[in-house]
């Protein structure tokens, strides 16, 4: 067992900091947080002095395939998959170093985030837990079409969702509007009309329970699309 001592801790439950916390970790999991506690006999103690401890942060909307350059789309297009995957590993390590222990990747190319998710699951110290969507479902030439998720019509979108579920995604991402980084689309205009899925909670997922049980995120950058996603009981991203 590992015992970590700090000067204070925010436990995510109370707004009052825990004074002189002792965090007990057993088999890689936090099992207890005590104030002014004594480490159990035989536990390894790591005393961080006056440091303030807090739970791992969660970033609910990332795209590990993109960099922070002036032209992330152009930079993406120039990279083969293996090189892009290496860059995603670096981005994941940066997240973990900043205290982010879980990220929800809402759009990749070629299901690379799923590959990275499975890789990091075997070595948690290498990066955060990843909840991956795979390529986002979007209308033809819609927002982020270049990631490979174009689908049109009820049948096309339903097939896209089923393909992602079969690949083992953690969440389905649907581009409900255009976006500023995709020429020819507009962030204030809905794109789901071209996909014929005004009520995605039923029409996207089909009739089997295993389809409906996959969480969905709706990329909505305009108020009409946000209202539509709310009516459809889909989380906005």
Provide the CATH number for the domain around residue 10: 2.30.40.10
State residue 223's pLDDT score: 63
Asked whether the predicted pLDDT for residue 233 surpasses 90, the reply is no
How far is Cα 130 from Cα 101, in angstroms, rounded to an integer? Answer: 9
Q: Give backbone dihedrals phi and psi of 170, rounded to 5 degrees, phi first.
A: -95, -20
State residue 203's pLDDT score: 46
CATH of the domain at 169: 3.20.20.140
Could you identify the residue written with the tokens 């329970």? 209
43 in the same domain as 160 = no
229 in the same domain as 136 = yes
Which residues, at least 6 apart from 215, have a Cβ–Cβ distance to it below 8 Å? 170, 171, 172, 235
Burial of 71 (0-12, 13-18, 19+ CB in 10 A): exposed
State residue 28's pLDDT score: 82
Average confidence score pLDDT of the chain: 85
Instruction: Look up residue 147 and give its two tokens.
Output: 């990631």
Q: Among 133-137, 194-198, 223-227, whose mean pLDDT is lowest?
A: 194-198
Q: Among 82-96, 160-174, 176-190, whose mean pLDDT is lowest?
A: 176-190
Q: What is the mean pLDDT of residues 110-131?
A: 96
Summarize pLDDT for 176-219 with one digit per residue, the tens: 887 778 888 877 776 655 554 434 444 444 444 444 456 667 56
State residue 124's pLDDT score: 87
29 pLDDT band (50/70/90 cuts)?
A: confident
Could you identify the residue written with the tokens 């590959």? 115
23 in the same domain as 131 = no
How many domains, the chain? 2
Helix/strand/coil for 197:
coil
Could you identify the residue written with the tokens 């995604």? 169
| Residues of the domain holding 99 | 57-236
165 in the same domain as 133 = yes
pTM for the model stands at: 0.80
64 in the same domain as 42 = no
Q: What is the mean pLDDT of residues 82-95?
A: 97
184 in the same domain as 145 = yes
State residue 116's pLDDT score: 98
172 in the same domain as 142 = yes
Q: Any alpha helices (H) in the chain, and if so which ranges? A: 72-77, 81-97, 112-121, 153-167, 192-195, 200-203, 209-212, 223-231
Helix/strand/coil for 78:
coil
201 in the same domain as 94 = yes
The percentage of the chain sitting over the pLDDT mark of 90, rounded to a whole number, equals 61
Asked whether the predicted pLDDT for residue 109 surpasses 70, the reply is yes
State residue 197's pLDDT score: 46
Asked whether the predicted pLDDT for residue 67 surpasses 60, the reply is yes
Instruction: Look up residue 153 and give its two tokens.
Output: 């019509």
State residue 228's pLDDT score: 59
In the sheet with 18-19, reading across from the earlier edge strand, the strands are 18-19, 8-9, 52-53
């Amino acid at each position: 067992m590992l015992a970590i001592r700090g000067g204070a801790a925010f436990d995510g439950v109370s707004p009052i900091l825990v004074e002189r916390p002792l965090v007990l970790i057993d088999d890689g999991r936090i099992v207890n947080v005590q104030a002014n506690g004594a480490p159990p006999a035989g536990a390894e103690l790591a005393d961080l002095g006056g440091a303030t401890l807090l739970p791992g942060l969660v970033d609910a909307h990332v795209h590990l395939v993109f960099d922070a350059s002036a032209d992330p789309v152009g930079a993406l297009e120039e990279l083969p998959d293996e090189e892009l995957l290496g860059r995603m590993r670096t981005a994941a390590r940066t997240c973990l170093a900043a205290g982010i222990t879980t990220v929800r990747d809402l759009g990749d190319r070629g299901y690379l985030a799923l590959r990275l998710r499975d890789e990091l699951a075997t070595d948690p110290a290498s990066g955060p837990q990843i909840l991956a969507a795979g390529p986002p479902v979007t209308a033809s030439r819609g927002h982020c079409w270049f990631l490979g998720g174009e689908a049109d019509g009820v049948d096309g979108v339903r097939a896209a969702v089923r393909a992602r579920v079969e690949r083992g995604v953690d969440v389905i991402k649907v581009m409900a509007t255009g976006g500023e980084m995709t020429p020819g689309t507009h962030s204030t205009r809905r794109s789901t009309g071209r996909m014929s899925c005004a009520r995605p909670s039923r029409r996207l997922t089909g009739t089997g329970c295993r389809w409906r049980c996959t969480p969905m995120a709706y990329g909505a950058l305009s108020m009409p699309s946000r209202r539509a996603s709310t009516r459809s009981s889909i989380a906005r991203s």
